[in-house]
Amino acid sequence: MASRVKKILVIHGPNLDLLGKRQPSLYGQKTLGAINTLLKETARKSKVTLTILQSNHEGKIVDLIGKAKGRYNAILINPAAYTHTSVAIRDAIEACGVPTVEVHLTNIYAREKFRQTSLIAPVCVGQVSGFGAESYRLGLLASLTILAPTR
C-alpha cells in the first residue's frame, strides 16, 4: 500500500560536511547543519519527511541510492565532486528509477572546465545550480512536483 507521508532522500556528497569553513567566498558561510535546518523547515511546511545523509564515499552513496526504490518518493542530491566523475552514481540513479533533482551551491557552468560537465544531470529530472544554499530549497520544492509512488 502506498505510504501517505511522502519521503525524500537528501544526499550530500564529499566535502560538503566542511561547508562554512570551506572556501566561504565560493560556497557561502552556512554550515551543512544550517542548510539541513532550512531543508527541514521547507519539508515541514510542505508536509513531507526527509532523510538526510552526507558521505565522502562514492560506494556509500551508490548503496544509499540502490536502496531508495520503494522507500522514497524522490531524491535530492548534491553529488559535489562526484558530479564530474561518477559513472557509478549516475548508473545507480538511472537503475533505481526514483525521480532525482541535482543541486549545486555554485553555478558549475561558470567555473573550471572540468566542473562544467555533469555525468549525473542526464539521469535527473532537472538541476538547480548557482543559488548558494537557496539551490537546496529550490531543489526540494522542485522535487515535490515529481514525486513517484512507493510500494
Catalytic positions, written as ranges: 27, 104
Q: Copy the grid coordinates of residue 69.
A: 526504490
Using rule CB under 6 A, residue 108 touches ligand DQA: yes
Cβ 40 to ligand DQA shortest distance, Å: 19
Q: Contact region for ligand DQA (CB under 6 A) — 32-40, 54-62, 68-76, 101-109?
A: 101-109
Judged by CB under 6 A, which of 78, 86, 127, 143 binds ligand DQA?
78
Among candidates 55, 73, 93, which has minimal Cα distance to 140? Answer: 73
Cβ 78 to ligand DQA shortest distance, Å: 5
CA angle 47–49–51, rounded 5-degree value: 160
Asked whether the beta carbons of 61 and 23 are under 8 A apart, the reply is no
Using rule CB under 6 A, residue 89 touches ligand DQA: no
Cβ 4 to ligand DQA shortest distance, Å: 32
Q: Contact region for ligand DQA (CB under 6 A) — 36-44, 50-58, 89-97, 102-110?
A: 102-110
What is the helix (H) or strand (E) element at residue 43, kind and residue range? helix 32-46
Buried b (16+ CB within 10 A) or exposed e, 95-118: ebebbbbbbbbbebeeeeeebeeb
Cβ 3 to ligand DQA shortest distance, Å: 30
Which residues contribute to the site for ligand DQA (CB under 6 A)?
15, 78, 80-81, 83, 104-106, 108, 115
